[in-house]
Amino acid sequence: MHPSDHAALEAAGLAGRRVRSLDAAGDGTALLVEVTGEDMLGAWATARAAVAETGRWPVLCTDDEDDLFSRFYFEEGAHDGDPAPSAVLTRAGTIDVDSALHELHTRYPTVGVDWAEYERSVTLTRFGDAPTLDEVHAATAGAASARAAADRFLFAWELGREPLTDPGPGVQDWYGTEDSAVLVLLPTPEPWSAYAYVDALHDACGYGQDLLTAAARRWHERFGAEPVAALGVMTWLSVARPPAEPETAWRLAFEHHVLAENTFSGPGLSIRDHARALLGRDRWVLFSRP
């Protein structure tokens, strides 16, 4: 290893651990540090505290050198563009996140489903009461996404009411539950850049890792959200300033829904269920599998 790598490990409190260096898809060299299931989060926090000194963002990943920086899914996500991390980051800097999310969400409209009726039935079951179907239909009239419009309307109606049933934490209690991982010190200090280097969510190979990277940068700017783990089908984020206002939480939940739909469909959560869970929550888990 280069002397600067030894200095980075020392600064990050990781000296003395087993370390490997690995080419990071042609954009620098990463350091792979051995951690255990018991100390991985502590090691991440120590390395995170030293980023200003090391210039390396830490992220927990599956320990597989052959696939860690593979461009296979990035080539799919690049849609004939350059899959290199630097190219993903360049494209991410040009993306209008709101427009891209709207286009992605409305690309394949569901035919033959009355989302107003369906979402109202969810509220009725959970709260024992609900607005009339006419009211929900009126709220969704002309909306690009009837389901999202119904969810947003019902979220506002549900606020302040006591539910009869609890949807549960969904996948949010998966944070920190991996038995094993490797701590990767990336050749970049920017948190959101992690998603340009390593696979975090399977769906990103469809919509593009550049969009996930752009969204993550905005989450960092707005909420202080920082990637802790990128595990191919799941990512954990530590959040310094979680949303405190319901409308902000709902909008964020919508973004999570578009980018990582399995976070919702697996445990059977609505966007508004996730929005309530995000209020004040300082750890996020997003899940997306084939």
- The answer as to whether 203 is a domain residue is yes
The total number of structural domains that make up the chain: 1
Contact by Cβ (8 Å): 209, 195 = yes
- The answer as to whether 257 is a domain residue is yes
The whole-number pLDDT of residue 217 equals 99
The whole-number pLDDT of residue 4 equals 87
- The answer as to whether 156 is a domain residue is no
Percent of residues, the chain, with pLDDT higher than 90 = 94
What single-letter amino acid sits at 230? A
Residue range 71-96: mean pLDDT, rounded: 97
The whole-number pLDDT of residue 261 equals 97
The whole-number pLDDT of residue 2 equals 82
The whole-number pLDDT of residue 108 equals 82
Mean pLDDT computed over every residue of the chain: 96
- The answer as to whether 79 is a domain residue is yes
- The answer as to whether 148 is a domain residue is no
Question: Does the pLDDT of residue 209 top 80, yes or no?
Answer: yes
Residue range 175-185: mean pLDDT, rounded: 96
The whole-number pLDDT of residue 129 equals 98
The whole-number pLDDT of residue 194 equals 99
- Encode pLDDT of 99-139 as tens digits: 999 999 999 877 778 999 999 999 999 999 999 999 999 99
- The answer as to whether 134 is a domain residue is no
- Encode pLDDT of 264-280 as tens digits: 999 999 999 999 999 99
- The answer as to whether 144 is a domain residue is no
Q: What is the pTM of this model?
A: 0.96
- The answer as to whether 85 is a domain residue is yes
Nearest to 227 by CA among 191, 199, 260: 191
Give the structural domain span for 191.
Answer: 3-102+180-287
CA 83, CA 262: separation in Å to the nearest integer?
25
Nearest to 97 by CA among 198, 213, 233, 264: 213
* 212, HSE (Cβ side, Cα atoms, 13 Å): 33
**What's the pLDDT band for 226 if we cut at 50, 70, 90?**
very high
